[in-house]
């Protein structure tokens, strides 16, 4: 089974990213032949500053490697280091109807929020389809917001196979893990950079502590009992603590004489210790960026071999061989 995941380079990761995409990717790499790419072409749809994009690409590479990605099990590379994906995108564009792309929820949502669209944003699902299909992917982990784009990729693959009477593309299946919880941000909403409510995985101890201490709680006095099931601090602590540690905190809440400041301090300490091995690994990698760049290049060469196998079949099918 071939598993493919693409991640956009969007800056500093937070613990919501870890308990969502990052941990899922690390867990899945032992389930099959795993491909993970940094989706730098996709990032261009919002015209980021070039220097910032370069920095975000390296940040993402360091973060995933620090958080447990094993390049003996996963082919980890930059999307733009495999140019074959752009060639396949053109072939797929030529069999994709405008109406199919106009129905994309993500595109319509951007328009509704007065986002000035470009053609890259409009045809984003076709590039995503090329990413998936060029490696003959069987399983594609996606968030709920990307589920429709995967369905579009399936439609495009079926359309191409039918039009050219060839079973060239594997029809991919989506994977949305049920176990991934919605990680609350410091304000109680879903943790997201868009809401400015995140707690970073990496960074200065003082900044992370400040983010934890800014978690919104109610005004119940310290001496009074509290409901642990309605507290953002407990919801975050649950992700990091052992069952015994979690139960102890809940008992403290119900007994009273236990303030939210105490709970936040316990959360910070658990958070700091949980990610300590990853911080050390990241610091080591950051001291040897040439190693990281070389690793991405070597992995891209492996990915390109697989991409070229698919493109040879596609070129033959369409008459450009």
Q: How far apart are CA 122 and CA 46, in angstroms?
A: 12
Q: What percent of the chain has pLDDT over 90?
A: 83
Give yes or no for a contact between 72 and 105, defined as CB atoms under 8 angstroms apart: no
Residue 287 pLDDT greater than 70, yes or no: yes
Return the higher-pLDDT residue of 13 and 135.
135
- The dihedral over CA atoms of 115, 117, 120, 126, expressed in degrees to the nearest 10, equals 90
Residue 212 pLDDT greater than 90, yes or no: yes
- Long-range CB pairs of 249-254, under 8 A, 24+ apart, other chains included: 253/225, 253/226, 253/227, 253/228, 254/225, 254/226, 254/228
What's residue 272's pLDDT? 97
Instruction: Tell me if the pTM is above 0.85.
Output: yes
Catalytic entry in 110, 226, 250, 264:
110
Write down the mean pLDDT value for the chain: 94
First CA to last CA across the chain, in angstroms? Answer: 29
Give yes or no for a contact between 292 and 285, defined as CB atoms under 8 angstroms apart: yes
Q: How many residues does the chain have?
A: 321
Catalytic entry in 73, 147, 190, 313:
190
Catalytic entry in 147, 193, 238, 313:
193
- 2-42 pLDDT, tens digit per residue, is 999 999 998 889 999 999 889 999 999 999 999 999 999 99
What's residue 186's pLDDT? 96
Confidence of residue 47 (pLDDT cuts 50, 70, 90): confident
What's residue 106's pLDDT? 78
Q: How far apart are CA 93 and CA 235, in angstroms?
A: 44
250 catalytic? Reply is no
Q: How far apart are CA 28 and CA 181, in angstroms?
A: 17
Structure tokens belonging to residue 279: 């911080």
- Taking residues 129-139, report their average pLDDT: 98
230 catalytic? Reply is no
- Taking residues 189-197, report their average pLDDT: 90
Q: How far apart are CA 190 and CA 172, in angstroms?
A: 29
- 98-117 pLDDT, tens digit per residue, is 999 988 887 887 788 777 77
- 73-97 pLDDT, tens digit per residue, is 999 999 999 999 999 999 999 999 9
- What H or E segment, with its residue span, contains residue 43? helix 40-43
Sequence-ordered list of residues with C-beta below 8 angstroms from that of 211, at least 6 positions apart, any chain: 186, 198, 199, 200
Residue 152 pLDDT greater than 80, yes or no: yes
Residue 180 pLDDT greater than 60, yes or no: no
Q: What percent of the chain has pLDDT over 70?
A: 98
What's residue 181's pLDDT? 61
Q: Which domains does the chain have, with CATH numbers?
A: 2-181+289-318 (3.40.50.620), 203-274 (1.10.240.10)
What's residue 107's pLDDT? 81
Q: Which residues are bridge partners to 77 per DSSP? A: 37
190 catalytic? Reply is yes
């Amino acid at each position: 089974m071939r598993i493919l995941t693409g991640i956009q380079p969007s800056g500093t990761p937070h613990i919501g990213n870890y308990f969502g995409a990052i941990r899922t990717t690390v867990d899945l790499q032992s389930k099959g032949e795993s491909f993970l790419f940094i989706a730098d072409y996709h990032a261009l749809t919002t015209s980021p500053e070039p220097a910032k994009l370069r920095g975000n690409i390296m940040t993402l590479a360091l973060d995933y490697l620090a958080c447990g990605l094993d390049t003996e099990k996963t082919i980890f590379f930059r999307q733009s280091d495999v140019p074959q994906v752009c060639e396949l995108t053109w072939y797929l564009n030529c069999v994709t109807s405008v109406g199919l792309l106009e129905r994309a929820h993500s595109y319509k949502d951007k328009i509704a929020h007065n986002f000035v669209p470009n053609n890259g944003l409009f045809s984003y699902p076709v590039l995503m389809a090329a990413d998936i299909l060029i490696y003959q992917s069987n399983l594609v982990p996606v968030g709920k917001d990307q589920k429709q784009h995967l369905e579009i990729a399936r439609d495009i693959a079926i359309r191409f196979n039918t039009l050219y009477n060839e079973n060239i593309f594997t029809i991919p299946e989506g994977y949305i893990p049920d176990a991934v919880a919605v990680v609350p941000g410091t304000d109680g909403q879903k943790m997201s950079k868009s809401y400015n409510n995140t707690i970073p995985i990496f960074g200065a101890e003082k900044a992370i502590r400040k983010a934890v201490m800014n978690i919104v709680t109610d005004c119940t006095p310290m001496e009074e009992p509290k409901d642990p099931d309605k507290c953002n601090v407990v919801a975050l602590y649950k992700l990091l603590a052992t069952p015994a540690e979690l139960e102890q905190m809940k008992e403290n809440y119900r007994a009273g004489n236990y303030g939210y400041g105490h709970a936040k301090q316990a959360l910070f300490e658990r958070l700091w210790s949980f990610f300590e091995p990853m911080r050390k690994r990241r610091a080591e990698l950051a001291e040897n960026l040439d190693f990281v760049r070389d690793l991405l290049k070597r992995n891209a060469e492996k990915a390109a071999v697989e991409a070229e196998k698919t493109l040879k079949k596609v070129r033959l099918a369409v008459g450009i061989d």
